[in-house]
Structure 1
């Protein structure tokens, strides 16, 4: 049901639970977040997380004095979630990026859409778009999610991201149909490496080193590769 980087909006009871478990010094920031109607972000499940729970997190804007971020990790009951969406589509975040990135990122989004590829965004760019707060710094990356359904989409998406990475600070993950995700740069490098190279695959409940071929079999045409 849930995936890493999903956005969730909490019920009143959910907010009460989050607030009760938060450090005293973080509660005013959480109250402001709640009152603004902003979502939490689904993160990787913790050890011993109950089947009735989901792990979520909040990342507050960087502090002006030192750039540090207040990050809060918590868990809530599934019944505490009143709405869920997947990660923010890239097209919904274009106005949130610095002007010097905007045209190039819009071209990437248009080319991806033209190829039938939907890109989503997470991290600082998504949070700035969702909250209007100042998250994006000159050193920030643009964290993208590519969700291919076929090998052709996967390879086209990797080529597209690599081409645009020459002019944009692109980072992010390829998310396979079974929910496992791999850094797109790592996956692309693995395809160019010796057979047997493994990549770090992150799922909601665990992290493991796997061969790219194992991930490709989850795609629509993956079973036809051998």
Structure 2
């Protein structure tokens, strides 16, 4: 499924047209980055669709490695469908383990093992994913482990959320729960809402908008036990 965080590879014409959509106030930085990305055949990442995007366009972007202050420049772009070579889902946690930063080693292996045992598939995005895909230095001591959790049923949702909460005590786990209808919620916000005494609303991201939605409405999209 083509969704936010999907990896997008461009053909030669796609790179040329993408450069034309870059912000004019950062053209030098953009030109250098896009030239490198094209030469190395690195992917871009699908982002939320802007309001004036045409039907034959996708909104994508890339993040540069952090500078000396830890700031990470992000370059938003648009690409035409004809300029796309291929699209793939984000890396799975299982595949990402081969490129694990040393500081996460023991706890992350334990987490991944519990996920495998419970039938939970997680995907990786953010700094760790960029580091794996480009072999550049993105992960720092303050980096999070950004994960995508896409449950289809209530039991799967419960197992995955419990594992995230359990292992977050030893790992900087961050990321989103993506419900079957494509609506995404930060997993930590979702966990807090699950344990709230009221009927909470959570901040939801879709392919086009950000809005507050009752958690119960999102839960209704899951297959029952």
Q: What's the TM-score bracket when you normalise by the shorter of the two chains? A: over 0.9
Alignment of 1:194-209 (within 5 A): 194-209=197-212
Partner Cα distance (2:19, 2:53) in 1: 19
Point out the more displaced range, 146-155 or 103-112. 103-112
Partner Cα distance (2:172, 2:29) in 1: 34
In the TM superposition, what is the alpha-carbon distance from 1:24 to its structure 2 partner? 2.8
Partner Cα distance (1:189, 1:10) in 2: 39
Kept in 1: contact 2:19–2:77 (CA 8 A): no
Give SS of 2:140's match: coil
In the alignment, structure 1 residue 28 sits paired with structure 2 residue 60: no
Give SS of 2:53's match: coil
Partner Cα distance (2:198, 2:155) in 1: 20
Task: Indicate which of 74, 79, 84 corresponds to 1:81.
Answer: 84
Q: Which residue of 2 aligns with 1:6?
A: 6
Alignment of 1:2-81 (within 5 A): 2-22=2-22, 23-63=27-67, 65-81=68-84
Task: Indicate which of 210, 214, 222 corresponds to 2:213.
Answer: 210
Task: Indicate which of 152, 156, 160 corresponds to 2:155.
Answer: 152
Give SS of 1:156's match: helix
Q: Which residue of 2 aligns with 1:182?
A: 185
Q: Extract unaligned runs of 5+ from structure 2.
A: none
Kept in 1: contact 2:21–2:78 (CA 8 A): no
Kept in 2: contact 1:97–1:136 (CA 8 A): no
Partner Cα distance (2:19, 2:80) in 1: 14
Which portions of structure 1, spanning 4 or more consecutive aligned residues, are displaced by more than 4 angstroms? none
TM-score normalised by structure 1 residue count: 0.93
Q: Which residue of 1 aligns with 2:95?
A: 92
Partner Cα distance (2:96, 2:135) in 1: 11
- What do the CA deviations read for 1:158-184 (whole angstroms, capped 9, x no partner)? 110011001001111101111111011
Alignment of 1:87-166 (within 5 A): 87-166=90-169
Partner Cα distance (2:29, 2:79) in 1: 20
Q: Extract unaligned runs of 5+ from structure 1.
A: none
In the TM superposition, what is the alpha-carbon distance from 1:26 to its structure 2 partner? 2.0
